[in-house]
Amino acid sequence: MHTVKNNQPLCSVLCLCYKHGAFAADLMQSIWQQEYKNVEIIVLDDGSPDNSREVLFSLQKQSPLHMKVLVQPNSGNIAKNFNILTSKAKGKYVIFISCDDKLVLGSISSKIKLMEEDSSLAFVSSSKFYEIDNNNNVVDEKEPKHLTGAVCTKDLLRLEYETLGLFFIQGALFRKEIVDSVGGFDDDLLGDDIVLRTKIFLYMQKHTELSFKVTDDYGFYYREHDNNIHKNSFRQIQLVAQVLERYYAHLPPPDTFAIWIRDAFRKEKTFNDGLKWYFINRKTLEVLLNEKQQKYILRKYIQFKIKSLFTRKK
C-alpha cells in the first residue's frame, strides 16, 4: 500500500532506537522539518534501558506526521529489527536511520524527485555526510571518494568488496519493492548496512534494467559518541567475515580486511589474544595464506616472546 497525497508517494522513515533518549527528538525534528510531507515515521525501541521509550511516546503525541512507535524487549539484532520496521512500512520508498542520527533538510524531496523521474532507479544516495557531536555541532564533513567512482552495478560490487563500507544507508532512499525483493536484511548475520547493500547490488546485477544515482550533496548527520556500534572492532571484523563468506566466497579476502585484522592483532596484549582474529571463520583463516600476513605474525610472535622474557627477568 503506497498512500499518495497531493500526487506525492508515501515515504517511510524507519528509525531504530537503542539508548537514544537524548537524541531522538533531534532526529524527529529533522524529519518534521523536511519540505516533503507525505511521510510516515515508524520507530522501534529495542528494549532501551534509558528513557527512550518515554521520549518516543511523547514525540508521537507531538508529531505533525503519522508516527508509530513499536517497543520490544532487547534483542540486539539490528538486522532483524530493521526487517520488523520494513514489514510495517506502507511507503513506496524507505529510509533506514538510527535515532542518534539526523536527516539533512531537503534530503527526502530531492531523492524522491529523482526516483519518480526514473523508475529504473533502485536507490539514490548522497555522496557526503556530516559528523556531529552530542550537542549537534558539526565536527567534520565526510566526502567518501569511492562511491562517486561507481558508474555501473559492477562498480558497486567491486567497490563494496574492496572498501567493505561503500556508503551509510542513512544517506540513501531505497525503492521498497527492491528491499522486499531481496528479503531485506539477513537477520542471522551481525550486519545491517553492508548486507543490505550487497544483496541489492547482486539483485541489480541480475536485473540489468535497474540503475542507481549518487548525488553530490550531504544526506544526513552521523553522530559520533562512545556507543557507536562500529567502534566494536571484534564485532565489525566478525560481521565482515560473515559477509565475505556468504556473498564473496569465490574471492580471496580483500586487502582492506587483512589490514583490519593486522591492526586488531597489533592492539592485543598477548600473542594468543591476537591470534583469535584469524580463527573467526574460513575467510579470516584465508588471510593467513597471505605471505605478508605470515611475516607480520612471525614478527609479532618474536616481539611477544622477547617482551615476556624481559618481563620474567624483572
Same domain, 212 and 267: no
Distances (CA, A) of 21 to 26, 97, 99, 132, 226: 10, 15, 8, 17, 15
Residues contacting residue 11 through CB under 8 Å, at least 6 positions apart: 36, 38, 39, 40, 91, 92, 93, 94, 95, 108, 112, 173
Boundary residue ending a domain (228, 257, 273): 228
Q: Tell me the residue range of the domain where 261 lies.
A: 232-313
Boundary residue ending a domain (203, 228, 253): 228
pLDDT at 65: 98
Same domain, 36 and 154: yes
pLDDT at 89: 98
Number of domains in the chain: 2
CATH code: domain of residue 28: 3.90.550.10
Same domain, 85 and 190: yes
Q: Per-residue confidence of the chain (314 residues) as pLDDT tens digits?
A: 567 677 899 999 999 999 999 999 999 999 999 999 999 999 999 999 999 999 999 999 999 999 999 999 999 999 999 999 999 999 999 999 999 999 999 999 999 999 999 999 999 999 999 999 999 999 999 987 788 788 899 999 999 999 998 999 999 999 999 999 999 999 999 878 999 999 999 999 999 999 999 999 999 999 987 666 666 778 889 999 999 999 999 999 999 999 998 888 888 888 888 888 889 999 998 988 878 877 878 887 777 767 666 665 55
At residue 256's C-alpha, the angle toward residues 255 and 259, to 5°, is 85
Q: How far apart are CA 80 and CA 105, in angstroms?
A: 29
Same domain, 128 and 10: yes
Same domain, 144 and 246: no
Same domain, 172 and 286: no
Same domain, 200 and 239: no
Same domain, 215 and 270: no
What phi-psi label fits residue 95: left (phi over 0), alpha (psi between -120 and 50 degrees) or beta?
Answer: beta
Same domain, 17 and 111: yes
Same domain, 277 and 155: no
Q: How far apart are CA 29 and CA 57, in angstroms?
A: 14
Boundary residue ending a domain (204, 228, 252): 228
pTM of the model: 0.91
Same domain, 205 and 89: yes
Same domain, 250 and 109: no
pLDDT at 289: 84
